[in-house]
Structure 1
Amino acid sequence: MDPLLRRRALNEPELMDDPACDPRALDTTYRMFGVINPLVASWRAVYVRDLRPVLRAAAAESRPAAVLDVGCGGGDVARAVARWAARDSLEVRVTGIDPDSRAITWARAHDRGAGTTYRTVSSADLVAAGERYDAVLSNHVLHHLDAPELTGLLEDSALLARGIAVHNDLRRSRLAWLIYWAATLPLARARTFVRFDGLLSIRRSRTPDELAALVPPGWRVSRQRFFRVLTVHRATDGTDEPG
């Protein structure tokens, strides 16, 4: 391992991606994502600043907004967006997609009345079907992709999003790795993949400059707090709203 994390970790699979991984550990990992993501992923701020204006624009057209969560995993971000929109009295239809059928099965079983739709399809499948969404988002997906896969997802997202596409990912940093290592030390012997896969994900993630060198025209890469990086594409103007 590069001790300074100057280079991305490549060709190291995460434990939860193994089809034969421990199902109980996988279940615990999905549950813990619902605790960890609200603490560090800053989706509430992204919702208020970037997503809510687009949802309100759809409401102004007297129609429900459509939101797509790509690589939704256990669905915690998709459910959070659905809850926030409901609190804002905004009608929204949220769809979560993931190529891993285990994730979709778990998300459906734990939707808790959020009304989210979960599908085992890819973004390319949705593009081929001619589907459109007001907002397209993802959480912790980009670091899983090599350069051609990343470009493909961003191109799909731009085609699918009539309003905005927001991909929220980790920002590689030695300090982030050290903080996460210390914070998850109590989980070192726990039956979960949160610690091992989380540390590996930080090492696999990209810096803002590395992402900016890969994104297609029309995309903006910005550094966020809590060692995050946002990759954003806006299809329309005039939807910004103060946070």
Structure 2
Amino acid sequence: MNERTLASRIFRKIQSRIHPVIDVSDEYTDLLAGANAGWLERGNLHAISYAIKNLPSEAPIIEIGSFCGLSTNLITYYKGKHGRTNRLVNCDKWIWDHEDRYIGDSAMTIKEYLAFALDTYKRNVNLFSRSDLPETIKEFSDDFFGLWREGKQVEDIFGKIVMLGGPISFCFIDGNHAYEFAKRDFENTDEFLEAGGFILFDDSADGTQWDVARVRDEVIRTHRYEIVMKNPNYLFRKK
């Protein structure tokens, strides 16, 4: 462990004691997280629930990055809990760099791993979000927003014809965490996010080593967004 990583962990531990994470887990979210693979920051539950409960309109919810569907299914759950009928439109390409590379000392490649993740995503949302399926577009986020900007009609991974475009009410940004990608995800979201709409950045907590922290700070400096909560990730509302 390098000094930067150690310092970050110590900072996060101190922060968690000074400002404990609000965890609104319940029986369903616990069981879902146990069956549905994914990296869940429990504080995101409160942030997602708050945003959905306080959506400014019926405009769509956008999720950038879907992986195996854990956050997708959680968004659907909180939509039902709060009686919201906003469309959930999400995107993921299920492609990473160096796909032919073997994972660790295993005989499995990145490509095989991601093909499994995509199949797992389909099974998970077809079960846990079966009454309110998301509209999942198999594209990188830049290409997805390009289609959104042009108001294109596309086919999602379930064979449904989906019309893209228009304002959005909430975006959960959990795609590529490298600075240039996270920044473009924000800029694209900002273009369509309506006043009073929300952005939740995953892995944006104080002390994080992810580049998304730079984007978080730039959002704050625009003075066009208010910080709704740090739990520990940042939930913003557009002024």
| Aligned equivalent of 2:182, options 121, 146, 150 | 150
Counterpart of 2:146 in structure 1: which amino acid? A
Tell me: CA distance 1:40–1:87, structure 2 relative to 1, closer, same or farther (3 Å).
closer
Equivalent pair of 1:72/1:138 in contact (CA under 8 Å) = no
Report Cα offsets for 1:109-153 as digits up to 9, x if no partner: 2111141122211332233222235334235446x212x322211
Greater RCO, 1 or 2 (C-alpha within 8 Å, sep 6+): 1
Aligned equivalent of 1:127? 145
SS at match of 1:138: strand
Partners of 2:236 and 2:121 in 1: CA distance = 26
Tell me: CA distance 1:122–1:132, structure 2 relative to 1, closer, same or farther (3 Å).
farther
User: Residues 1-243 of structure 1 correspond to what in structure 2 (within 5 A)?
Assistant: 1-5=1-5, 6=7, 31-33=36-38, 37=40, 40-43=42-45, 45-54=46-55, 57-58=57-58, 65-100=59-94, 102=114, 103-111=117-125, 112=127, 113=130, 114-129=132-147, 130=149, 131-138=165-172, 140-141=174-175, 144-146=177-179, 148-162=180-194, 164-170=197-203, 171=205, 173=207, 203-204=209-210, 210-215=214-219, 217=222, 218-220=224-226, 224-225=230-231, 228-230=232-234, 232-234=236-238
The number of aligned residues is: 171
Structure 2's unaligned 5+ residue stretches are: 10-32, 96-113, 150-164
CA deviation after TM superposition for structure 1 residue 206, in Å: 5.8
Partners of 2:215 and 2:63 in 1: CA distance = 20
CA deviation after TM superposition for structure 1 residue 230, in Å: 1.0
Structure 1's unaligned 5+ residue stretches are: 9-27, 59-64, 174-201, 238-243
Partners of 1:135 and 1:30 in 2: CA distance = 29
Tell me: CA distance 1:96–1:232, structure 2 relative to 1, closer, same or farther (3 Å).
same
**CA RMSD, 1 decimal:** 3.5
Tell me: CA distance 1:149–1:139, structure 2 relative to 1, closer, same or farther (3 Å).
closer
Give the percent of matched residue pairs that are identical in Structure 1 and Structure 2: 8
SS at match of 2:169: strand
- TM superposition score normalised by structure 1: 0.56
